[in-house]
Amino acid sequence: MNPPDKTQRNWSTFFIEALIRLLGFSSIGFVLLIFLFLLQEGIPAFFQVPLGNLLSELWYPTFDLYGILPLLLGSLLITLTAILIAVPLSVGTAVLVREAAPPWVREVLKPMIEALAGIPSVVLGFLGMTLVAPIVQKLGAPTGLTAFTGALILAYMSMPTIISVAEDALDTVPKSYRDAGLSMGATKWQTIWRVVVPAARSGIVTAVMLGLGRAIGETMAVMMVTGNAARMPLSLDSLFRPARTMTATIAAEMGEVAHGSIHYHMLFGIGLILFTLTFIINLIAASTIFKKRKKGGLR
C-alpha cells in the first residue's frame, strides 16, 4: 500500500484542527447560552421586586417576601466553613501522597482519592443524615441538620479535587529544589514545608479555588443535611443551627413554582447570582494558572 501523499496529510491535519476549534468554541458557546438564558429569566426579578424587599431578611415567597440575604449568607457560611476544614486536610494529604509515601502506597492512594469524587452527592447526603447528623446533635446542637453538618459533607466532597490538583502542583516542583534544600542542611520535612510547598503555592491556591467552586455549587447533599431554614446566620451559634443555601432553594422550589411568576424569575435571579460567583471563582483560578505559566515561561 502506498503511503498517503502530502495533499491527503494536509487535508487530514486541516480537518482535525477545524474539529478541535469547533469543539472548543462550542463549549464556550454553551456557557454563553446558559448565561444568556439565566439573564433573560432572572433579570426581570430585579425589576419586579423592590430593592428593600430584595435585601430583607425574610424569604417567604407565599407572602411576596424575597429577601436573598439569608440564602446568600447561608451559602457563604457553609461553603467557607467547608473550605476551612478541607484545605488543611487536603494539602496535608497531597504532601503525604507526593512527598512522604512510598511509591507503592502512592499508586494505591491516588486512584482511591480520585474515585471518591465519583460518589453521588445524594449518597453522601443520605450518609450525612444517618451518620453525621446524630453525632452533631449529640455534641450539643439542637438538631443534627445544621450548617456545620452541611460544611462537613461539603468538605468531604471538595477534598478529592483539592488533593488531586495540589498533588499535581507539588509534582511540578523541580527535583533540584528538593536537592538544594537538603544540601543546605535542612531535614526532609523542613525542605517540604519551606521549599517545596511555597514553590507550589500558586497551584495549591488554584486547587483551593476549584474546591471552593465545587462546594458552592453543590445542591442535593446540602439540601438534605442543613435543615433548609431561611434564617440570617448572624448569631454566634449560627453554625450549629439550620441554614439554607441558594442551590437548595432553587432545587426545592423550582418544581412547584408557576411559570412566569415573580417567584419563578426570582429563582432564576438566584441562579444568576450563583453563576456569577462560580464564574468569578473559576476565573481567579484560571488567572492564577496563567500567571504561573507566564512566569515559568519568562524563566
Residue 8 pLDDT: 62
Residue 5 pLDDT: 58
CA 160, distance to chain mean position in Å, is 11
CATH architecture of 51-298: Orthogonal Bundle (1.10)
Could you tell me the sign of the dihedral formed by the alpha carbons of 248, 250, 255, 258, in that order?
A: positive
Q: Which residue has the higher pLDDT, 77 or 140?
A: 77
Instruction: Name the pLDDT band for 6 (thresholds 50, 70, 90).
Output: low
Proportion of the chain above pLDDT 70, given as a percent: 93
What are residue 65's DSSP bridge partners? 60
Residue 299 pLDDT: 39
What is the mean pLDDT of the segment spanning 31-53?
Answer: 88
Q: What is the mean pLDDT of the chain?
A: 85
Strands (E), 31-145: 59-60, 65-66
Q: Taking the C-alpha atoms of 215, 219, 223 and 226 in order, what is their torsion angle to the nearest 10 degrees?
A: 10
The model's pTM: 0.85
Q: What three-state secondary structure class fits 212?
A: helix
Whether 268 has a pLDDT exceeding 80, the answer reads: yes
What is the mean pLDDT of the segment spanning 59-81?
Answer: 90
Which of 33-47, 103-117, 238-252 is least confident? 103-117
Residue 186 pLDDT: 82
**pLDDT tens for each residue of 188-238:** 888 888 888 888 888 888 888 888 888 888 888 888 999 888 888 888 888
Q: Taking the C-alpha atoms of 157, 251, 280 and 57 in order, what is their torsion angle to the nearest 10 degrees?
A: -110
Q: Which three cell numbers stand for residue 283?
A: 476565573
d(Cα 32, Cα 38) in Å, to the nearest integer? 10
The single residue listed with the C-alpha cell 441558594 is: 246
The single residue listed with the C-alpha cell 504561573 is: 292
What is the mean pLDDT of the segment spanning 96-100?
Answer: 86
Residue 98 pLDDT: 87
Whether 91 has a pLDDT exceeding 80, the answer reads: yes
